Amino acid sequence: MKLAISGKGGAGKSTLAAAIVLLMARRGREVLAVDADPDANLAAALGIPAAEQEKIIPISRQAALIEERTGAEVWQYGQIFKLNPKVSDIAESFAYHHQGVALLVLGAVGRGGGGCACPENVLMRALVTDLILYKDDALVMDMEAGVEHLGRATASGVDRMIIIIEPGQRAIDSTRRILRLSHDIGLQDIRLVANKVTGPEDERFIRDAFPENKFLGIIPYREEFRRADRDGRSVLDGLPGDLLRCLEDILKNLEVPL
Amino acid sequence: MKLAISGKGGAGKSTLAAAIVLLMARRGREVLAVDADPDANLAAALGIPAAEQEKIIPISRQAALIEERTGAEVWQYGQIFKLNPKVSDIAESFAYHHQGVALLVLGAVGRGGGGCACPENVLMRALVTDLILYKDDALVMDMEAGVEHLGRATASGVDRMIIIIEPGQRAIDSTRRILRLSHDIGLQDIRLVANKVTGPEDERFIRDAFPENKFLGIIPYREEFRRADRDGRSVLDGLPGDLLRCLEDILKNLEVPL
């Protein structure tokens, strides 16, 4: 499964992505987590300590190094991944390992005024498209906020997408735009998750906006996620049983074909 | 004043931007609000009804029209704004008007796979750099989430920036990256606003992370902002007196030189 997680900034993409990859890893699945957000934070959501995060070399910088050494034009064609097309190879060569998860970080924009992140996205698309998965392998990509990455079709190699929505008009609008653009790049299998739901009114608000779409689950608004972020812990660390079951159900529903 | 508002996705950029421009307009100032977020939503935060929002033509599309008609290469040089360098002209020619605010929308990515938003950002930079302001005029730009726009230096024409921060490690990390990149593009006047603060612990958490930086204010976590978004109202609509005063104080502090 090649899964992308999208949604408005702040809706809970990194939280959900981290929960899904950690739960998959706990079940012994080989999982490659990809942080495709230039304003990267998946490492923090996975509970990787700040001092460790600094050791992670973004693949954009790794690619530049390889390009320098080999003269290969990695930016244009993503040969870097064509040479290593299996999750296990990529994970071995480039990923940071944490609690059974292999993490690839796309990398933030290096320097103010240094141009757009498009070359990084070409590389990312090559990775996502060319990667060969075994039956139980998974690639989970935490997309950058908003819709620009879809304009660049970073997601065109994925076979499944989750859009996470919080109960606000702006998140609804954002979701509509993502659905439209996803359709343009030929992505069919899209599921929704409602997040930060404070009660039946919030849930109805979100469901009514997307009556045709399949919801994987409804995550209640709870302080625990905020606290985990503030205190630099993994999203699953110290999570109460009911919230954990809610996330496990989402993962279970994700396996059911549309 | 040419002001940019930046911060992690979901931290409250559009909410603060909308509050500032509405309060400025109430005081009779000429204010041009610029929505520079491809996942645009400033119109909603200003309380412009959904049906009206559809009538707003993003400047990226307006520029394309003008290019078609005149043959001018607006993408490269932003002549469109060089020909109309005053707020009043721009506002008259291109903006949508609402409650005394002139709104320019950069525009979402038109079509999935249609390329990156860099040309739109070249245009936006031309606008922000070339615009001539009278003493009390203001341009307030709601930046896209994250840091990529700083890599493209969209903000290089502004003279002041506010970074809005919520109490989470990821928002702190994001703010650090924005500060670093802002420095790279030569932006000196940067102030912070803490948002979604639930108590003294949250406030300390944020202040301790940035002991050297000046805070314009602390916005408490309150349901009213969420509700306004969900119900499609302006951020100031029905706001309790204490929250309104909090936002007015931020605006007042913004006028004080660093």
Kindly give, in sequence order, each residue whose CB lies less than 8 Å from that of residue A57, ignoring residues fewer than 6 positions away: A105
Q: Which of A35-39, A86-90, A247-251, B246-250 has the lowest mean pLDDT?
A: A86-90
pLDDT number for residue A129: 74
pLDDT number for residue A257: 81
Residue of chain B minimizing CA distance to A176: B39
Going by C-alpha positions, the residue among A257, A252, A248, A251 that lies closest to residue A5 is: A251
* DSSP helix/strand/coil, A170: helix
How long a stretch of residues is chain A? 258
Q: What pLDDT, in 10s, does the model give residues B148-206?
A: 667 666 777 788 999 999 999 989 998 998 999 888 888 889 999 999 999 999 999 99
Number of Cβ pairs closer than 8 Å across A and B? 178
Using CA atoms, how far residue A194 sits from A11, A167, B2, in Å, is 9, 8, 37
pLDDT number for residue A158: 87
Mean pLDDT, rounded, of chain B: 84
Residue A87: pLDDT over 90:
no
If one compares A89 and B158, the residue with the highest pLDDT of the two is: B158
Q: Which of B41, B42, B54, B225 to mutate to test the interface with A (most CBs of A within 10 A)?
A: B41
Kindly give, in sequence order, each residue whose CB lies less than 8 Å from that of residue A43, ignoring residues fewer than 6 positions away: A35, A52, A53, A56, A96, A98, A103, A105
How large is the average pLDDT for residues A88-92?
69
Q: Which of A169, A202, A222, A227 to mutate to test the interface with B (most CBs of B within 10 A)?
A: A169
Which residues of B are less than 8 Å from A230 in CB distance? 167-169, 202, 205
How large is the average pLDDT for residues A62-68?
64
CB contact under 8 A, B113 and A231: no
pLDDT number for residue A86: 65
CB contact under 8 A, B9 and A14: no
pLDDT number for residue A119: 61
CB contact under 8 A, A151 and B8: no
Residue A77: pLDDT over 50:
no
pLDDT number for residue A5: 95
If one compares A113 and B207, the residue with the highest pLDDT of the two is: B207
Residue A198: pLDDT over 90:
yes
Which of A155-159, A184-188, B92-96, B127-131 is most confident? Answer: A184-188
If one compares A76 and A82, the residue with the highest pLDDT of the two is: A82
Percent of chain A with pLDDT strictly greater than 90: 47
B110 touches chain A (CB under 8 A): yes
CB contact under 8 A, A174 and B109: no
pLDDT number for residue A143: 86
Mean pLDDT, rounded, of chain A: 84
Residue A110: pLDDT over 80:
no
Residue A256 — pLDDT band, cuts 50, 70, 90? confident
Which residues of B are less than 8 Å from A147 in CB distance? 38-39, 108-109
Residue of A113, A151, A226 with shortest CB distance to B109: A151
pLDDT number for residue A3: 94
Residue A15: pLDDT over 70:
yes
ipTM of the complex: 0.78
Residue B77 — pLDDT band, cuts 50, 70, 90? very low
C-alpha radius of gyration, chain A, whole number = 18
Asked if A214 and A192 touch (Cβ cutoff 8 Å), the reply is: yes
Which residues of B are less than 8 Å from A174 in CB distance? 39, 41
pLDDT number for residue A130: 72
Distance, in Å, from the CA atom of A88 to the CA atom of A123, rounded to the nearest integer, reads 18
Q: What pLDDT, in 10s, does the model give residues B13-50?
A: 999 999 999 999 999 998 999 998 877 689 999 999 98
pLDDT number for residue A201: 95
Distance, in Å, from the CA atom of B84 to the CA atom of A7, rounded to the nearest integer, reads 36
Residue A80: pLDDT over 60:
no
Q: What is the nearest CA distance from A66 to chain B, expressed in angstroms?
A: 23
Residue of chain A minimizing CA distance to B172: A230
CB contact under 8 A, B168 and A229: yes
Which residues of B are less than 8 Å from A38 in CB distance? 146-148, 151
Percent of chain A with pLDDT strictly greater than 70: 78
CB contact under 8 A, B116 and A112: no
Chain A neighbours among B 8-37 (CB < 8 Å)? 8-11, 14, 37
Which residues of B are less than 8 Å from A169 in CB distance? 44, 50, 229-232
Distance, in Å, from the CA atom of A160 to the CA atom of A157, rounded to the nearest integer, reads 9
pLDDT number for residue A111: 57
Residue A147 — pLDDT band, cuts 50, 70, 90? low
Q: Count CB atoms within 10 A of the CB of residue A76.
A: 12
A241 touches chain B (CB under 8 A): no
Which residues of B are less than 8 Å from A111 in CB distance? 151, 181, 184
B153 touches chain A (CB under 8 A): yes
Residue B121: pLDDT over 80:
no
Which residues of A are less than 8 Å from B110 in CB distance? 151
